[in-house]
Structure 1
């Protein structure tokens, strides 16, 4: 039986350089905050030309591994959950703009996620956490009539609940989903009195969290998000 042909594809030099630079970061030869070696040093180390080094370095920057500033040496970045999500912001927004199904899936994912965050927060919320949430609601009340500020404090409220978990990945997920949904929060820019419902519902959520009412907190946030779900439209 004839064996299938397995073609060997020659890789670009810049891809090979990228792999080696990535490995230097992965094995901690280069730490967050360190400057990358100069182009000349890398050219000598890998035996390649300047174009391959520059292309590989740009690929590292595109993946959020290094920052490149004009006139300065590239620096290794500290990777966080937040920085990782920022790398996909543009592609996520394009995906949502191209498919109404994707937007609906994101709405559902957000509700599922925030129900869990509410239950977690109800078990862990401190006096300081509750005070912060109440202060956010007051700032939101003070921003009535200012669409941008009202939506900003709304996002802050929900992210602050995620922060109670103490898990930075939860916080990053919350911020990312809210940022993506904000692109389609069109109805909130046409005031119809719905902002007052938001304030009342936020107060009810905080009341349940303060009472360490796990089921009540989940129910309150579910009611709030199901009502506001229709505000996110294309």
Structure 2
């Protein structure tokens, strides 16, 4: 092949020189990933980072903001930034805005999310029935009473509903299930539409939550799974695939 003959069939983008802030970000991310900067540690001062990497203050500040935007550190005014613990909530927080945009851009995705909820919660409840302790059952009963106290306030009532379902997910001992359940239900909250002509819907929810708690406390996996499927089948129409509420 001739030395001047291009070897690539498709146009190739020229290599871009990496910004200083990107290089600082990469170095700091490596320090966090390696454990050199552990969760809870204070980040080095801006001046220390400038001296360490041989860059100016703007590059350091931009890199720190990039880390904060990704949930890797927390920046507090007047205090040193600190490294955050990385968990499922951190990861889901990064996709939160995109998920909300996806739901609002394509209404059918709300129905897909409701379908995902049924699949996920049925599995979650089945596992929770095998692991539910007396303390777990007491916590669920207390959350039911909190939800009862929110009768008449639709938003507060459904927020208490979310807390109840997230607490069930916590029983499994799987932090991913807990984080995914919280995120999924929070995304659905924007599409909650009370059905005004359906009298007693809140009391029906409370009764079903109480029944589900009893089934979990008894370790009745089959009964608990059937209850959650019936419960979600009834409440599903309250989440409408139209523009989200304010």
TM-score relative to the length of structure 2: 0.87
Call closer, same or farther: CA 1:13–1:133 in 2, change over 3 Å: same
Render the CA deviation track for 1:61-80: whole Å, top value 9, x for unaligned.
10011111223222111222
Task: Give the aligned partner of residue 161 of structure 1.
Answer: 168
Task: Report matched runs for 1:62-211 at 5 Å.
Answer: 62-187=69-194, 192-211=199-218
| CA–CA separation in structure 2 for the residues paired with 1:155 and 1:162 | 11
Question: How far off its partner does 1:206 sit?
Answer: 1.9
* Unaligned 5+ runs, structure 1: none
The two structures, once aligned, show a CA RMSD in angstroms of 1.9
Question: How far off its partner does 1:154 sit?
Answer: 1.0
Call closer, same or farther: CA 1:189–1:84 in 2, change over 3 Å: farther
| CA–CA separation in structure 1 for the residues paired with 2:175 and 2:204 | 30
Question: How far off its partner does 1:87 sit?
Answer: 3.2
Runs of 4+ in 1 over 3 A off after TM superposition: 188-192
Contact 1:124 1:165 (C-alpha < 8 Å) held by counterparts: yes
Question: How far off its partner does 1:189 sit?
Answer: 8.0
Question: How far off its partner does 1:142 sit?
Answer: 3.1
| CA–CA separation in structure 2 for the residues paired with 1:112 and 1:153 | 21
Task: Give the aligned partner of residue 223 of structure 1.
Answer: 230
Call closer, same or farther: CA 1:172–1:122 in 2, change over 3 Å: same
| CA–CA separation in structure 2 for the residues paired with 1:172 and 1:89 | 12
Task: Give the aligned partner of residue 221 of structure 2.
Answer: 214
| CA–CA separation in structure 1 for the residues paired with 2:131 and 2:29 | 39
Contact 1:118 1:217 (C-alpha < 8 Å) held by counterparts: yes
TM-score relative to the length of structure 1: 0.91
Contact 2:154 2:194 (C-alpha < 8 Å) held by counterparts: no
**SS at the partner of 2:41?**
coil
| CA–CA separation in structure 1 for the residues paired with 2:205 and 2:182 | 19
Q: Does 1:3 align with 2:7?
A: yes
| CA–CA separation in structure 2 for the residues paired with 1:190 and 1:33 | 51
| CA–CA separation in structure 1 for the residues paired with 2:197 and 2:24 | 52
Call closer, same or farther: CA 1:21–1:189 in 2, change over 3 Å: farther
Question: How far off its partner does 1:190 sit?
Answer: 8.2
Contact 1:147 1:189 (C-alpha < 8 Å) held by counterparts: no
